[in-house]
């Protein structure tokens, strides 16, 4: 099922927009529409967002429930804060793996309006001021130039939800292609394992050396790869070696005929691992 990722401040109107889109899909098309939200797990949100471990566990449940439903038909709406860009990226990777489109709906509600709406909620549904302010402070707004936040629909409180445009983006658009590093390939030549070890170690050595004169945000060229490692943050040798071992383990099970692609596949894997 194509995926809609709702995003916004607490009490910004995400559930209202989810219900509007669900009504449109089910009344105007032959598609089914499933909504996953925090209430699906019967947890009290103030307790969850007050404890980082509980919040992490809750996000894990949201993600796994979403992944189980992803396919090329019908629609899944993830109605939650989704305020961490790294989590939205994880969902995007799940979408790519399932070969189905997605979009992000950002309820672009001013903080003062969301504060008023929160105060009007029933006590059991209301965010406490401490939790509300903390979530607003940590909120990472979606950016349309990021592939995991695109296509992006930013909706102000006074806007009509562009249901038909959202439908077209989900059902009339091709799914994003899988990364080379996650596509199963046929068995390769006999020197595959030697080349796999050699080229990944060469990439690690090059990256460690380049970091001595580079800063986070730089793009690092790797021998044999057309893509570059985007140095989103500094990365030490131990972490690089761990990423290398994971890549080797996976690639041994999905060997390729064209070993010249190994370096570029490893670059893609590194970029996805260090975001």
Residue 6 pLDDT:
98
User: pLDDT tier at 39 (50, 70, 90 boundaries)?
Assistant: confident
pLDDT digits (tens, 9 = 90+) for 158-189: 999 999 999 999 998 877 766 544 444 444 44
pLDDT digits (tens, 9 = 90+) for 186-244: 444 457 788 888 999 999 999 999 998 888 889 999 999 999 999 888 899 999 999 99
Residue 180 pLDDT:
47
Query: Domain residues of the chain, as ranges?
Result: 3-171, 180-273
Residue 178 pLDDT:
61
Say which CATH class 3-171 falls into: alpha beta
Residue 41 pLDDT:
60
pLDDT digits (tens, 9 = 90+) for 87-116: 999 999 889 888 899 999 999 999 999 999
- With 70 as the cut, is the pLDDT of residue 69 above it? yes
Residue 188 pLDDT:
45
Taking residues 23-47, report their average pLDDT: 86
Question: Structure pTM?
Answer: 0.66
Q: Mean of the per-residue pLDDT values for the chain?
A: 89
In contact, 166 and 25? CB cutoff 8 Å:
no
User: pLDDT tier at 127 (50, 70, 90 boundaries)?
Assistant: very high
């Amino acid at each position: 099922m194509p995926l809609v990722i709702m995003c916004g401040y607490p009490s910004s109107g995400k559930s209202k927009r989810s219900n509007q889109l669900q009504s449109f899909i089910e009344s105007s098309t032959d598609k089914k529409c499933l909504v996953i939200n925090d209430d699906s797990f019967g947890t009290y949100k103030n307790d969850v967002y007050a404890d980082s471990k509980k919040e992490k566990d809750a996000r894990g449940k949201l993600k796994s429930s979403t992944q189980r439903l992803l396919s090329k038909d019908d629609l899944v709406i993830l109605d939650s804060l989704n305020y961490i860009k790294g989590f939205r990226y994880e969902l995007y990777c799940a979408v790519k793996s399932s070969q189905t489109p997605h979009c992000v709906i950002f309820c672009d509600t001013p903080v003062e309006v969301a504060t008023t709406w929160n105060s009007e909620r029933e006590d059991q549904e209301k965010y406490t001021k401490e939790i509300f302010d903390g979530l607003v402070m940590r909120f990472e707004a979606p950016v349309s130039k990021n592939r995991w936040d695109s296509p992006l629909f930013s909706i102000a409180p006074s806007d009509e939800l562009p249901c038909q445009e959202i439908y077209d983006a989900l059902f009339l658009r091709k799914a994003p292609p899988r990364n080379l590093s996650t596509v199963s390939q046929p068995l390769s030549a006999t020197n595959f394992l030697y080349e796999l070890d050699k080229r990944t170690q060469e990439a690690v050595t090059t990256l460690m050396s380049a970091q001595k004169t580079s800063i986070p945000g730089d793009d690092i060229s790797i021998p044999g790869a057309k893509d570059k490692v985007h140095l989103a943050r500094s990365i030490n040798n131990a972490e690089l070696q761990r990423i290398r071992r994971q890549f080797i383990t996976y690639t041994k099970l999905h060997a390729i005929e064209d070993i010249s692609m190994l370096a570029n596949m490893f670059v893609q894997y590194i970029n996805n691992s260090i975001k």
